[in-house]
């Protein structure tokens, strides 16, 4: 009994673009395009928590993150006509928030190389299982540049080339800063052991 050979003809179908927004979001976008304050408020309320968290991860300062969030949403409302539906609405807003937070970070000159104040001993005592609080504190104590790269790559899922573009650094610098951030985190978390 011999093996039979089958010829299969595959047709490659390019993936269809993902739907950019639900009908509810489309209505909000239409309202925002018409400068409807109610639609703008609804859009803001829908995304503010996730976007504030994103800005806070980069800036590590609640007041600065709140300011960056406000600036970012002003930019969203001014640029809503440029939304091209190539990504989800949330992803488009997140990109504006990230760019605004990074501009704020540069403006505040928080990307200086090693800030001694942020590298003091952790306040969280060692526990057998690493808590999210201890990890969050260790991330918050990273130098601003390392923290920004770490959060963008490891938390937000950006690629190194995207981080390089956002931060105006080389892709190699992004990789190096991520490596250094991980090394510092490993050192900090190891120092929590009794």
Given a contact cutoff of 8 angstroms between Cβ atoms, the answer to whether 136 and 189 are in contact is no
| CA dist., res. 53 & res. 6, Å (int) | 54
Quote the pLDDT of residue 151.
Answer: 87
Kindly report each contact of residues 167-170 with a partner whose C-beta sits within 8 Å and lies 24 or more positions away, as own/partner: 167/102
- Give the separation between CA 189 and CA 194, rounded to whole angstroms: 11
Joined together, the tokens standing for residue 58 give 């980069």
pLDDT of residue 130: 63
Domains with residue ranges and CATH for the chain: 23-107 (1.10.1740.10), 116-191 (1.10.10.10)
pTM to 2 decimal places: 0.58
- What is the reported pLDDT for 7? 55
- Over the chain (194 residues), the average pLDDT of each successive run of 10 is 51 45 81 92 94 92 93 94 85 93 77 43 45 81 89 86 86 89 86 66
Predicted confidence at residue 67, as pLDDT, reads 93
pLDDT at residue number 40: 93
Distances (CA, A) of 167 to 5, 84, 118, 149: 54, 23, 21, 9
């Amino acid at each position: 009994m011999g093996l039979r050979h089958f010829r299969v003809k595959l047709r490659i179908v390019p993936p269809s673009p993902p739907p950019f927004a639900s009908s509810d979001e489309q209505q909000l976008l239409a309202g925002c395009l018409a400068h409807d304050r109610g639609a703008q408020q609804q859009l803001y309320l829908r995304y503010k928590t996730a976007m504030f968290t994103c800005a806070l991860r980069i800036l590590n300062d609640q007041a600065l993150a709140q300011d960056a969030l406000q600036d970012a949403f002003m930019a969203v409302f001014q640029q809503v006509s440029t939304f091209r539906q190539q990504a989800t609405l949330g992803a488009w807003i997140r990109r504006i928030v990230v760019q605004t937070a990074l501009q704020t970070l540069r403006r505040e000159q928080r990307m200086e190389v090693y800030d001694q104040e942020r590298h003091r001993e952790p306040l969280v005592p060692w526990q057998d299982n690493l808590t999210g609080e201890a990890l969050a504190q260790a991330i918050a104590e990273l130098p601003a540049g390392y923290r920004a790269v770490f959060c963008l790559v490891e938390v937000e899922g950006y690629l190194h080339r995207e981080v390089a573009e956002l931060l105006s650094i080389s892709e190699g610098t992004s990789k190096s800063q991520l490596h250094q951030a991980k090394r510092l985190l490993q050192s900090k978390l190891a120092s929590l052991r009794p």
